[in-house]
Each structure stands twice: as structure tokens, then as C-alpha cells.
């Protein structure tokens, strides 16, 4: 490899890391292991607790990534749309959908959640799992979701919660990462680790949803901490004690105050009737 090619590759890797951790192939690969399946199952159960019963003509998965939940959502809709800003992840989704087609017509759309290329009032349900914390203008994305949602449609949002053990660890890491970043820059090197993202607390998320014209109907939590940090490297599986902790939380996740203390807040809302 020539020096110029090597430098070009380094620059590309840096650009991908800065664009978002999901641009690395390790991101979607991690969901293919047993730990990844387990995480998806915990989140899917929280989503199921939150969904309203109605069948939806069209369900839009906003920020669908590599389509981790599309198969899970398929029985809830006659037609699915997966929208994401990452061409790479949409490519991964397209590939597995070709190999194992979904039971309902599914369209993948490359676009931003802040400019959804759909008619106003054209979808009956929107899911948005771990996405808005990465969007600089979260309010614009919520307003867009509200615009494309049909009257009476449901919006199911999963958003990271500061007020949780996972959030506390994350908050403690902020000053440490800031110091490391400053040190690396002083040494003339560009840091490649992620910037802190826009997590939330329940009161501010509720205010944000209401300002976007949405009415909150239901809140629950999903708990994965500290599973992300403690898993067996050999089997890529969660340690049993932490699985048990996550399971115990699930039994309490619909009760106050526990519903506000999960690593993820899982919320169902609908557009406020005008
Ligand atoms: C942590 S991943 C979650 C993906 C998927 N919802 C899941 O749970 O597997 C964050 C996703 O948000 C997407 N994303 C970030 N900013 C976006 C934007 N402005 N519009 C649409 N998608 C966006 C990324 O491309 C990535 O797929």
C-alpha cells in the first residue's frame, strides 16, 4: 500500500467515525451475535408494551439503520417504510431483505428525519428507536414526524435517558473524554471517539413532544445496563446476573417511578387533535 493510499484510508476511517459510530461495520455486526439478539429482544418487548393495538396501513421506521426491527414490526402494518440517512446501513438492510424477504411490501428510503419525503398525514404509525439523540435539530425531526403522521396515528419513540445507571456512567465519562480529547489535540492527533449525544430526562422529553404537537399516552422503560459493559467476551453473551437484573426491571418497567429510570425511555404519543 502506498503512503498516499494509506493516508487516504486513514482519513476515510476518521470521517466515518466522526459521521457516527454506526458507520463502522462493527456496529451492525454486533447485533448479529447472541448479545446483540438479546438486546434487540429486550427493546422489542418494551416496544410491544408501548404499541397501541390498532393495525396500521403504513408504518414508518424513522432512522431504521440496518432494519433491525423491520421484521418485528411487519405484523403491525400492511406496508413498511424504513428511512435512514446512512447509505451504508440501508445497504445492509437491503441485502438481508433480499435474502429473507419480509411478509409485507417494504420500501427503504435514504433521507433525513428532518426532511421526510412523504405527504402530510400519510403514515399511521412511526417508530423511532435510538435515533433523535444523534440529530442536532431534534425539534425539527419531531415536527416532521408530527407532519407526516395521520390524525390519530401513533408515534413510538425510544430515547436515551440520563436519569438511569447507564446515563450516570455516560455523564461521568463526559469530562474524562473532554480531557482526553484536549490532550490528543495538544499532541497534534485527531480524537476518533464519539462526542456525547443528546440524551434526555423524562420532563424535558415530554415538554419537547408536547411542543411538537404530540400528546403522550404511555411511557415505559427498557433496561440494558450494565449489560453493555459486562458480557462474556468468549460467548458474546450477557452475564447471567445482569440478565437477571434486566429481567427484574422489566417486571417493574410500567410502574412509576421505574418507568422513568430505564436506560431508554419508550414513549407512545399521538398528534394533538386540532
Ligand atoms: C443507533 S442507530 C439506531 C438504528 C436503528 N433504529 C436501531 O435501533 O437499530 C442511529 C441511526 O440514526 C440514523 N440517523 C442519524 N441521524 C439521522 C437523520 N438526521 N435522519 C435519519 N436517520 C438518522 C443513523 O444513520 C443510524 O442508523
User: What pLDDT is stored for residue 215 in this prediction?
Assistant: 96
Rounded to whole angstroms, the Cα distance separating 251 from 225 reads: 15
pLDDT in tens, 249-262: 999 999 999 999 99
Query: Residue 9 falls within a domain, yes or no?
Result: no
What DSSP element (H or E) covers 88?
A: helix 87-99
Going from the Cα of 155 to the center of ligand 1, the distance in angstroms, rounded, reads 16
Query: Residue 74 falls within a domain, yes or no?
Result: yes
Q: For 50, how many CA atoms within 13 A lie in the half-sphere containing its CB?
A: 34
- 20, 84, 132, 170, best to mutate for ligand 1 pocket (most atoms within 8 Å of CB): 84
Query: How many independent structural domains does the chain possess?
Result: 1
Instruction: Give yes or no for residue 250 CB within 6 A of ligand 1.
Output: no
Q: For 72, how many CA atoms within 13 A lie in the half-sphere containing its CB?
A: 18
Is the CB of residue 269 less than 8 Å from the CB of residue 217? yes
Q: Which of 38-47, 95-104, 169-178, 226-235 has the lowest mean pLDDT?
A: 226-235
pLDDT in tens, 151-199: 999 999 999 999 998 888 888 888 888 899 899 999 998 877 766 678 8
Instruction: Give yes or no for residue 129 CB within 6 A of ligand 1.
Output: yes
* Choice between 161 and 23, residue whose per-residue pLDDT is larger: 161
What CATH number should be reported for the domain holding residue 193? 3.40.50.150
Atom of ligand 1 nearest to the CA of 66: 9
Query: Residue 5 falls within a domain, yes or no?
Result: no
Instruction: Give yes or no for residue 114 CB within 6 A of ligand 1.
Output: yes
User: What pLDDT is stored for residue 11 in this prediction?
Assistant: 62
Instruction: Give yes or no for residue 84 CB within 6 A of ligand 1.
Output: yes
pLDDT in tens, 38-85: 889 989 999 999 998 888 999 999 999 999 999 999 999 999 999 999
Going from the Cα of 82 to the center of ligand 1, the distance in angstroms, rounded, reads 11
Q: How confident is the model at residue 240 (pLDDT cuts 50, 70, 90)?
A: confident
Query: Residue 24 falls within a domain, yes or no?
Result: no
CB neighbours of 129 closer than 8 A, spacing ≥ 6? 43, 47, 61, 63, 68, 69, 158
Enclosing domain of residue 174: 33-271
Going from the Cα of 226 to the center of ligand 1, the distance in angstroms, rounded, reads 23
Instruction: Give yes or no for residue 89 CB within 6 A of ligand 1.
Output: yes
* Choice between 124 and 52, residue whose per-residue pLDDT is larger: 124
- 16, 61, 63, best to mutate for ligand 1 pocket (most atoms within 8 Å of CB): 63
Going from the Cα of 152 to the center of ligand 1, the distance in angstroms, rounded, reads 25
pTM higher than the cut 0.85: yes
Is the CB of residue 163 less than 8 Å from the CB of residue 202? yes
Query: Residue 103 falls within a domain, yes or no?
Result: yes
Closest CA to 71 of 50, 31, 44, 110: 44
- Between vectors from CA 138 to CA 135 and to CA 140, what angle results, nearest 5°? 115
Rounded to whole angstroms, the Cα distance separating 229 from 157 reads: 24
Query: Residue 130 falls within a domain, yes or no?
Result: yes
Query: Residue 10 falls within a domain, yes or no?
Result: no
* Choice between 7 and 60, residue whose per-residue pLDDT is larger: 60
User: What pLDDT is stored for residue 51 in this prediction?
Assistant: 92
| Residue bearing cell 480524537 | 191
- Average pLDDT on 223-241 reads 64
Mean of per-residue pLDDT scores for the chain: 88
Amino acid at each position: 500500500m502506498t503512503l498516499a493510499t494509506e493516508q487516504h484510508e486513514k482519513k476515510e476511517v476518521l470521517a466515518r467515525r466522526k459521521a457516527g459510530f454506526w458507520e463502522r461495520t462493527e456496529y451492525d455486526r454486533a447485533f448479529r451475535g447472541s448479545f446483540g439478539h438479546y438486546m434487540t429482544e429486550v427493546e422489542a418487548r418494551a416496544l410491544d408494551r408501548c404499541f397501541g393495538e390498532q393495525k396500521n396501513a403504513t408504518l414508518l421506521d424513522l432512522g431504521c439503520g440496518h432494519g433491525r426491527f423491520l421484521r418485528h414490526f411487519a405484523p403491525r402494518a400492511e406496508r413498511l417504510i424504513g428511512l435512514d440517512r446512512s447509505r451504508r446501513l440501508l445497504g445492509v438492510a437491503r441485502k438481508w431483505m433480499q435474502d429473507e424477504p419480509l411478509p409485507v411490501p417494504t420500501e427503504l428510503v435514504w433521507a433525513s428525519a428532518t426532511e421526510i419525503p412523504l405527504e402530510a398525514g400519510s403514515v399511521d404509525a412511526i417508530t423511532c428507536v435510538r435515533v433523535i439523540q444523534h440529530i442536532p435539530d431534534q425539534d425539527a425531526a419531531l415536527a416532521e414526524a408530527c407532519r407526516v403522521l395521520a390524525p390519530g396515528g401513533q408515534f413510538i419513540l425510544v430515547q436515551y435517558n440520563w436519569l438511569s445507571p447507564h446515563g450516570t456512567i455516560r455523564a461521568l465519562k463526559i469530562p474524562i473524554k473532554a480531557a482526553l480529547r484536549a490532550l490528543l489535540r495538544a499532541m497534534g492527533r485527531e480524537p476518533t471517539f464519539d462526542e456525547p449525544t443528546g440524551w434526555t430526562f423524562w420532563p424535558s422529553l415530554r415538554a419537547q413532544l408536547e411542543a411538537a404537537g404530540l400528546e403522550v399516552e404511555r411511557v415505559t422503560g427498557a433496561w440494558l445496563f450494565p449489560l453493555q459493559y459486562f458480557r462474556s467476551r468468549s460467548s458474546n453473551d450477557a452475564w447471567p446476573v445482569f440478565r437477571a437484573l434486566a429481567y427484574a426491571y422489566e417486571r417493574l418497567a410500567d410502574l412509576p417511578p421505574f418507568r422513568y429510570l430505564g436506560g431508554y425511555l419508550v414513549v407512545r404519543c399521538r398528534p394533538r387533535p386540532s
